[in-house]
Amino acid sequence: MCYAEEAALLRLEEVFSATLARINNLVLQPMLSAAPEPSDPRSRECLCLVQQLHKNSQRLWEVTEESLHSLRERLRHPDSVGLESLLLLRDTDHILQVHVEYIQSYTDCVVAQAFQKAVKKRSEYWRVQRKALRQLLSDVSSEGTVGPALAQALRQPLTHHVQKYVLLLLSLGDSVSEHHPARQLVVHAATLLGNLQSFMRQALDQAGATQALWATLSSRLRDVLCTPAHRLLWDSQDVPVMVSPLRVDRVLLFDDALVLLQGHHVHTFDLKLVWLDPGQDRNTFHVITPEEELSFCTKDPEGQVVWQQKMTQAVCQALRGKKDFLALGVDLEPPESPTCRYGAYTFHKEGRLCQATYEGEWCRGRPHGKGTLKWPDGRNHVGDFCQGLEHGFGICLVPQAAEDKFNCYKCHWWEGSMRGYGICEYSNDEVYKGYFQEGLRHGFGVLESPLQAPNPYKYTGHWERGQRSGYGVGEDGDRGERYIGMWQADQHHGLGVVVTQAGVCYQGSFQADKIVGQGILLSEDDSLYEGTFTRDLSLMGKGKVTFPNGFTLEGSFGSGTGRGLQMQGVLDTAALPPDPSNTRKRQLGRGAFPVESRWQGIYGPFRDFVHAGCPQDLQEPMLGFHVQSSRELRQSQEYLCCERTHLEGSRDSIDDMLEELLQHREPPARQQYLKKALSSSLHPLGKLLRMLMQSFQATYAGMGANKHLQGLAQEEVKQHAHELWAAYRGLLQVALQRKGQAPEEEEDAETRDLHVHGLVLPLVLPSFYPELFTLYLLLHEKEDSLYSQGITDLSLFSDTKLLEFLDVQKHLWPLKDLTLTTNQRHSLVRDKCFLSATECLQKIITTVDPREKLEVLERTYGEIEVTVSRVLGREHKLPMDDLLPLLIYVVSRARIQHLGAEIHLIRDMMDPVHAGGLYDFLLTALESCYAHIQKEDMRLHHLPSRWNPRESW
């Protein structure tokens, strides 16, 4: 049993509760109730401190009453109320926290000299109360000042109380058996209260030393340094130290700051942003701060050890939080302060960071890691830093003159400037997506103005040091034209092609945005002009016009205001009409812009990424990323963020991609891997394909959909397929290298072409197909128009009439396939013969893959032979004389639109391995059918008198 110790605890709590009540009545209430409202800031601060002390005193009294109540209940019902029910044991942490808060507010008052200032305001009253204070404290003299007496009255009862707490709990622990359920609670409470006792001694000593410090300083320095939160830890007057390069008079180490006094100047350094390094000898050590590097030198090694140890402990304590009970009461300081930290600092020295505030991660005095940098003028940078510079991904807002308008840069940075891929949204609503170097646009990029802009404009192409230079495509919405070609210093310079909304095309040379020398102009009606021009493509100077009918006009051209086009020359009407296909299908740009060099700004970063070994941290800077529009960032600067895909820890990291590539390197699985990779917006191959699509659409969609650019587009698609295969090969070599395996041998040209046309081109063609097929449609529009008219005319025939018209031998007619009613005759049935072949051929438009189109054609040929074999009752191989009429019949009944565009796209994009083979044979047969259906004789419903099916082969 331990009733004696519990009874002693009860008496201790009763005495302490009564003492707290008397202190409240005799000291705290008088200090607050009768005090006039102070006018100066210091006095108001002291009043607030006393009010906080009174509040914490009330909480301390309340928790003491609760503890007292639990003790009474325990002693009144010892059998039913266990020892663990005591508040002192079951809620020791709460009791401890209340004591710590009281001590903290008391020491704040001591440091701020709040008690002395309170006494001065009512000195007569407190002289009268001295007798009451002597009753409260045995050692208060009648001659001493009242201020220290007040401080002692508020401190002494608590220190004595905690001391007796510890002794009684230790005694209680000795009297409780080892196996008692409350044994651990008692030991824990005794330990914590012992720590509280140490904490109180430390806190009171620091507050007393800090209060004594103020008397040694001038009033000016005291006004700067005297704050309730300051606690003096060390003073150079105790252990002298010299600081260089500053010549300081005194060094003060507080619990939250290092202070250097230099005359009337005060240099203050936040301890959270102070790093220590050993010096070159045993008497020195170095202090690193965000803007200073200081050397501390003592007279002897012992002084150096003391100063460095005290400063290291203070830094660690500041980083943990100086208000924390365990940090102050128990010696938990590690031997070294952490190198990486989190903090905020405002720079003051001249330079690019002057007046800027950085909040975030630090390393050895410099921003390092993730953080936010803000300038007073509204500039913000949020992102990654390295050794004090923006480095890695970051978002920067730069305010503009217009109210609430910002330029927003979402980019990758390198040593303080933008480098790599970025997306920039400007205050005028222009958007740039592309590459940077040294803070300037450099490499491939797209600059686009909003559609509602007064002069809408878009540029897709290469940049050099912030200017458009190299190959690029510029679209001027105001002029209604698109320029495709070479640039220099933001101007058209070199060979170029201009395409207008009116369908006019120009190819020639430019210099500083001006047309120079000879050029050619193709109008929408296929008229051709060769000569010199004005900037707006008006005919000027010597030239020659060739009209679609073959007439030529050669001479000098000019124009005057309001007088239209004028010319002086010779009109030649005797020339033979030119081949329409030569004029109509003239292609521009081919040879002027080598396809291998057009989009090096897109291919280059990918090659660099592969050559670097595909490091994860370079994937975004080199290959790009996608983010949401940040219009909302222009409305508020409170928080900047960027929603972009993070690859770390996901199945889409570069390591996983390379591992999967090795697992699917064999031919059957390789196609599936490439299909998946090219369709993924996260895979390097998918990113590369999307950039190529972007440049292709910028060149050939909309205004660029001109038939004279078909050859330029077709060779570009093939080149993209070559580059994507080379990119795949590069990734494969990196994957093998990472596994320590031997690299694959270099491919020869034949093997490479086989893979490009047989594997890659069918996979990438759908990405470019809409724009590419549109060019084919425009290029073969006239032939397709004649073909459509021929199909319309032939559709008027019944099946038997058409077979007869095409001179198909009657024993090949599939009349047994026709199911007639009693009122029908063979001569009236339409669209029933060779129905399976017709339906098969119609599927040619359901795919964009040239190989699959050729397979459809092969199956159509097979269906024709199957039908003929069934009619003849035996297997039959059609000779060439019989195949063409039957194929014309099937084509006319399939009614495929734009068959000419389809045929030419298949011919241009088919795998060269099929040249001279079955697919080539069948495609040639289809071309013959297409050509025959266009012929005027066919459209007039009669065949030439001596029609030879072989003549088209």
pLDDT tens by residue, 200-231: 999 999 999 999 999 999 989 988 899 898 89
CA distance 53 to 47: 10
Q: Residue holding tokens 């921003």? A: 367
List C-alpha distances in Å: 267 to 226, 244, 312, 315, 870: 14, 13, 19, 17, 105
Report whether 754 contacts 913 (CB < 8 A): yes
Q: What is the pLDDT of residue 327?
A: 40
Residues contacting residue 740 through CB under 8 Å, at least 6 positions apart: none
CA distance 146 to 148: 6
Mean pLDDT, residues 564-593 taken together: 74
Which contiguous run of DSSP H or E holds residue 863? helix 850-872
Q: Is the dihedral of CA 416, 418, 421, 423 positive or negative?
A: positive
Report whether 666 contacts 759 (CB < 8 A): no
DSSP for 888-925 reads HHHHHHHT-TTHHHHHHHHHHHS-GGGTTSHHHHHHHH
Supply 121's token pair.
């305001």
Q: What is the pLDDT of residue 664?
A: 92
CA distance 686 to 682: 7
Mean pLDDT, residues 606-617 taken together: 93
Band the pLDDT of 125: cuts 50, 70, 90.
low
Band the pLDDT of 2: cuts 50, 70, 90.
low
Within 10 Å of residue 613's Cβ, how many Cβ atoms? 11
Listed range (545-554, 564-573, 847-856) with the worst mean pLDDT:
564-573
pLDDT over 60 (residue 628): no
Report whether 153 contacts 136 (CB < 8 A): yes
Q: Residue holding tokens 């359920």? A: 181
Band the pLDDT of 843: cuts 50, 70, 90.
very high
Mean pLDDT, residues 828-833 taken together: 72
Which contiguous run of DSSP H or E holds residue 219? helix 219-225
DSSP for 469-491 reads EEEEEEEETTTTEEEEEEEETTE
DSSP 576: P
Listed range (482-496, 677-691, 929-943) with the worst mean pLDDT:
929-943
CA distance 223 to 748: 83
Q: Residue holding tokens 């933001």? A: 490
CA distance 445 to 468: 9
List C-alpha distances in Å: 492 to 467, 497, 555, 766: 12, 10, 28, 32
Q: Name the packing angle between helices 667-679 and 761-779 (round to 10°).
A: 60
Q: 640-683, pLDDT tens digit by residue?
A: 454 454 443 444 689 999 999 999 988 889 999 999 999 998 99
Band the pLDDT of 153: cuts 50, 70, 90.
confident
- Which contacts of 914-919 are long-range, i.e. CB under 8 A and separated by 24 or more positions? 914/854, 918/858, 919/854, 919/857, 919/858
pLDDT over 80 (residue 947): no
Nearest to 267 by CA among 277, 278, 255, 253: 253
Q: Which amino acid is at 301?
A: P
Tabulate helix, strand, coil % of the chain (nearest 5). 50, 20, 30
Q: Name the packing angle between helices 41-76 and 92-111 (round to 10°).
A: 150
Mean pLDDT, residues 380-385 taken together: 95
Share of the chain above pLDDT 90, in %: 54
Q: 17-66, pLDDT tens digit by residue?
A: 999 998 888 888 887 875 566 677 888 888 889 899 999 999 999 999 99
Q: What is the pLDDT of residue 274?
A: 95
Strand 440-448, strand 366-374: pairing: unpaired
Q: Residue holding tokens 């495509």? A: 473
Q: What is the pLDDT of residue 578?
A: 64
CA distance 150 to 476: 84
CA distance 826 to 731: 64
Report whether 108 contacts 56 (CB < 8 A): no
Nearest to 629 by CA among 332, 834, 408, 386: 408
Give the distance, in angstroms, between the CA of residue 273 and the centroid of all CA atoms in the same chain. 30
pLDDT greater at residue 898 or residue 951: 898
Residue positions counted in the chain = 953
Asked, as a colleague might, if the bond just before 335 is cis with ω within 30 of 0, I would say no
Band the pLDDT of 295: cuts 50, 70, 90.
very high
Tell me what the pLDDT averaged over the chain comes to.
86
pLDDT greater at residue 808 or residue 1: 808
Distance between the two ends of the chain, CA-based, in angstroms?
Answer: 119
DSSP for 351-416 reads STTTT-EEEEEEETTEEEEEEEEE-TTS-EEEEEEETTEEEEEEEEEEE-SSTT-EEEEEEEEETT
Q: What is the pLDDT of residue 642?
A: 47
Q: What is the pLDDT of residue 559?
A: 73
CA distance 727 to 734: 11
Report whether 406 contacts 400 (CB < 8 A): yes
Supply 769's token pair.
């197909």
Within 10 Å of residue 434's Cβ, how many Cβ atoms? 24
Residues contacting residue 62 through CB under 8 Å, at least 6 positions apart: none
Q: Residue holding tokens 């490009």? A: 756
pLDDT over 90 (residue 390): yes
Q: What is the pLDDT of residue 495?
A: 94
Mean pLDDT, residues 789-808 taken together: 89
Within 10 Å of residue 249's Cβ, how many Cβ atoms? 11
pLDDT over 60 (residue 632): no
**Would you call 213 helix, strand, or coil by DSSP?**
helix
Q: Is 569 exposed, middle or buried (0-12, 13-18, 19+ CB in 10 A)?
A: middle
Q: 515-566, pLDDT tens digit by residue?
A: 888 889 888 888 888 888 777 767 777 888 888 888 888 888 887 666 667 7
